[in-house]
Structure 1
Amino acid sequence: MLLVLPPSEGKTSAPRGAPPLDLDTLTFPGLTEPRAAVLDALGRVSAHRDALELLEVGASLADEVERNTRLRTAPAAPASRVYSGVLYAAAGLGRLRGPAAERAATSVVVISALFGALTPADRVPAYRLAMQTLPGLGPLAAHWRDPLAAALADRASGDVVVDCRSGPYVAAWRPPADADWLAVRVEQLRAGGRVVVSHHAKHTRGVLARHLLTRRGGRRAEPRDAAAVLRAARSLVGSHGVVDVELAAPSSRGRAATLTLVLGDL
Structure 2
Amino acid sequence: MLVLLPPSESKWAGPRRGSPVRLDTLTSPALTAAREQVLDALAAASARADALELLGAGASLADVVAANTTLRERPAARAAQVYTGVLFDALDLPSLPAAAARRVLVVSALWGVLSPRDRVPGYRLSMGTDLPGLGPLAAWWRPRLAEALRPQGLVVDCRSAAYAAAWVPDADTAARTVAVRVLAGGRVVSHAAKHTRGLLARHLLTRTGRPPRTPAALADAAAEAFQARLREPAGRAKPWTLDVEAR
TM-score range, shorter chain: over 0.9
- Cα RMSD (Å): 1.2
User: Identity across aligned pairs (percent)?
Assistant: 56
**1:201 counterpart (183, 193, 198):** 193
Structure 2, unaligned stretches of length 5 or more? none
Indicate the residue corresponding to 1:240 in structure 2: none
**1:140 counterpart (137, 142, 151):** 137
What letter matches 2:177 in structure 1? W
Question: What TM-score comes out, normalization by structure 1 length?
Answer: 0.88
SS at match of 1:63: helix
In the TM superposition, 1:1-266 aligns within 5 A as: 1-97=1-97, 101-105=98-102, 107-131=103-127, 132-153=129-150, 156-157=151-152, 159-179=153-173, 180-189=176-185, 194-217=186-209, 221-237=210-226, 244-263=227-246
Q: Deviations over 1:46-73 (max 9, x none)?
A: 0001101111221121111011111001
Q: Deviations over 1:190-238 (max 9, x none)?
A: xxxx332223110010001111111113xxx21111011101100013x
Please give the alpha-carbon distance, in whole angstroms, between the structure 2 residues aligned to 1:88 and 1:225. Answer: 25
C-alpha displacement at 1:172, in angstroms?
0.9
SS at match of 2:169: coil
Question: What TM-score comes out, normalization by structure 2 length?
Answer: 0.95
Please give the alpha-carbon distance, in whole angstroms, between the structure 2 residues aligned to 1:250 and 1:60. Answer: 42
C-alpha displacement at 1:103, in angstroms?
2.5
The answer to whether the Cα contact below 8 Å between 1:161 and 1:175 also exists between their aligned partners in 2 is no
C-alpha displacement at 1:7, in angstroms?
0.6
Give the length in aligned residue pairs: 244
C-alpha displacement at 1:85, in angstroms?
1.0
